[in-house]
Structure 1
Amino acid sequence: MAKTPAATVQAGDREVRVSSPDRVIYEATDATGEVTKLMVAEYFASVEDGLMRALRDRPTALERWPSGVREGFKLATGPFDKDAEAFYQKRVPKGAPDYLESVEITFPSGRHAEEICPTEIAVPVWCAHMGTLTFHPWPVRRTDDPGSLDRPDELRIDLDPQPGTTFGDAVRVAGVVRELLAELGITGFVKTSGNRGVHVYVRIEPRWEFLDVRHAAIGLGRELARRDDQVTTAWWKEERGERIFVDFNQNNRDRTIASAYSLRPKPGAPVSTPLTWAELADLKDPRALNLFTVPERVADGDPWAEIDAEAFSLQPLLDLWEAQVEAGEGELNFPPDYPKMPGEPPRVQPSKKVAEHWDEDGNRVEGT
């Protein structure tokens, strides 16, 4: 069989080449048709305004599914996942076009890398040519200030439904988030995760470091849990129960969330879709927001068009954190690949913890 010739997609002022345009990336479902590689590239071009609002000038990791999405396919989450069909690309791929810009980022380990920094829609369209479905931008923007990549301009509130809870539960808790933020004089913008979760974003003044933003997320999460017994900030899954987990660790350095208008590797090509709060309240099935339906929505405008209109102070949320610390509620666990952090609780599953093996600072006692 003859190989299908490459196609081109108009992306802004550029024509971007897309190889293997007929490759099926998503198989057809009862509700949606099959999606080809060319359709993915065309989709990203069609949501240019909202997608670039999410990505422009941000270091961005790519979630690449070069063979498409199939039942049983896995996403590699570390160097030992040799047999996975998909992977994260945290460095500029070989063969990148000359218009693709990059920026040097620093990982928690202290290592450095050149990561993609999108400045025009041709970049994500080219990334589709490379098999990218999901973009993972950092919550920082490259500016002329050399310290800009160390000071987030975005607080990300990730509401993650645990087993026994539903998308509807996450929607309800998002409403409580909105109320709390409003009490503090802060405006949040909401989107679907593309799966069962809900994300609330807040533009913040880039005056604080990653650790401060993380503490603000913990402060908010704990206050939510105080107000609503279906909310938890428990890091260990065995302690979460049938509740909505506020994943505060998504605000750490090199921890990212699927961007607005990213596709997700689930049947039906769902999209992480910005909504108005009224739309969220009425939404029953987030799968209805997909590659086929979202371009028509954005033709009438992006619900996040005003997200950059005002940047808020993080101080009200840091005040919550500081009050909690004074009341005896301290630091929470960091991701397992992070170095041990000051004040962090023991990195051991609570059901396996032997108290006498740990000191009061969360360090293992030598010889135990």
Structure 2
Amino acid sequence: MTPITEVEGRRLSLSNLDKVLYPATGTTKGEVLHYYAATASGVLLPQLRDRPVSFLRYPDGPDGQLFFTKNPPPGTPSWVHRTPVPHRESEPSEQVVVQDLASLMWAANLVVEFHTPQWRAETPAVADRLVFDLDPGAPATVVECCRVALWLRERLADDGLDAYGKTSGSKGLHLLVPITPTDSAAVSAYAKGLAVRAERELADLVVHRMRRALRPGKVFVDFSQNAAAKTTATPYTLRARAEPSVSAPVTWTEIEQCRSPGELVFLAGDMAGRLDRHGDLLAPLNEPGRGRPIPDTA
């Protein structure tokens, strides 16, 4: 029998709570839902709110079928908010927006990673944050990503911009920068310029092009996720990895002191303690007036 629970006045059917989703740690679906409800909801919802959500679904765990969807999944309740998005070839005209705890738990029950764009639903393709995805090519690791992140932090600061770090929840590191609302194309151009400069000044460490043949031993500075059609793993989402890893905010001290990849791996069970110690490290991203203008690249 499928358990029925009530969340903020909404009735939800939560299925297969004893199903093991992460065999490496024995983590069950019930524990995943508990992470989202009890640990992450207060900090994840502000990152999801007002942004159209894309889902990477992995209902049988990370070793099962994975599929990415932007369309509202079949059976989406009528009370889950949807927003129209600009029509693009092969993309939906409507997406889910997770605005409250009930919607979060409905989505988490589908077993998903949450991915969001850099813009809000009311201003499509007008970004209020900039992102760099630092992706290491073996044998490089997140340790090398940290070196690149520190370089980028300094360059961004030179331009009057504040950067905040989080793990990707996979191998790399993400930098997020609050900005004044700016056309996504202009943000992409600025981010590309910094990525090209990073490759020029850190030639032994950085590549800005996506070709995999260029990437062994280097950090790919992916600026492309600033494009209006692209999304990035939302802060605090679980990832479809061998273990229930989290795309977790990190301090600059942790980035500066990182000497081995395991130092920046955080699982669902680690997050309550981190939130107790650090609070929401990414709260400034949503503070009114925190964003700063990016330099004109024209």
TM-score, normalised via structure 2 length: 0.90
Q: Secondary structure at the match of 1:201?
A: strand
Q: Pairwise CA RMSD of aligned residues?
A: 2.0
Q: Say if 2:34 is the partner of 1:55.
A: no
AA at the equivalent of 2:51:
R
> Structure 2: how far apart are the matches of 1:180 and 1:171?
14
> Structure 2: how far apart are the matches of 1:62 and 1:205?
27
Aligned residues: 291
Q: Say if 2:27 is the partner of 1:35.
A: yes
Alpha-carbon offset, residue 215 of structure 1: 0.8
User: Once superposed, which parts of structure 1, at least 4 consecutive aligned residues long, lie more than 4 Å away?
Assistant: 10-15
1:338 is matched with: none
> Structure 2: how far apart are the matches of 1:95 and 1:182?
46
- C-alpha change, 1:257 and 1:251, in structure 2 (3 Å) is same
AA at the equivalent of 1:308:
N
Alpha-carbon offset, residue 287 of structure 1: 6.3
1:68 is matched with: 61
Q: Secondary structure at the match of 2:127?
A: coil
Q: Which runs of 5+ in 2 are unaligned?
A: none
Instruction: Choose which of 201, 223, 235 in structure 2 pairs with 1:227.
Output: 201
Q: Say if 2:116 is the partner of 1:137.
A: yes
> Structure 2: how far apart are the matches of 1:68 and 1:54?
24
Q: Deviations over 1:134-184 (max 9, x none)?
A: 1011111123xxxx1121111111111112211100111111111111111
Bigger Cα displacement from structure 2, 259-268 vs 106-115: 106-115
- C-alpha change, 1:114 and 1:270, in structure 2 (3 Å) is same
AA at the equivalent of 1:212:
A
Alpha-carbon offset, residue 5 of structure 1: 3.9
AA at the equivalent of 1:140:
W
- C-alpha change, 1:253 and 1:110, in structure 2 (3 Å) is farther
AA at the equivalent of 1:42:
H
Q: Secondary structure at the match of 1:245?
A: strand
AA at the equivalent of 1:215:
A
| Larger fraction in strand | 2
Instruction: Choose which of 81, 104, 125 in structure 2 pairs with 1:150.
Output: 125
Q: Which runs of 5+ in 1 are unaligned?
A: 74-84, 323-368
AA at the equivalent of 1:259:
T
- C-alpha change, 1:232 and 1:37, in structure 2 (3 Å) is same
Q: Deviations over 1:12-64 (max 9, x none)?
A: 5656431111111111x3xxx31111111111112112211211010000111
> Structure 2: how far apart are the matches of 1:15 and 1:172?
47
Alpha-carbon offset, residue 303 of structure 1: 0.9
Larger Rg computed on CA atoms: 1
> Structure 2: how far apart are the matches of 1:267 and 1:111?
30
- C-alpha change, 1:60 and 1:149, in structure 2 (3 Å) is same
- Give the percent of matched residue pairs that are identical in Structure 1 and Structure 2: 29
AA at the equivalent of 1:302:
D
AA at the equivalent of 1:141:
R
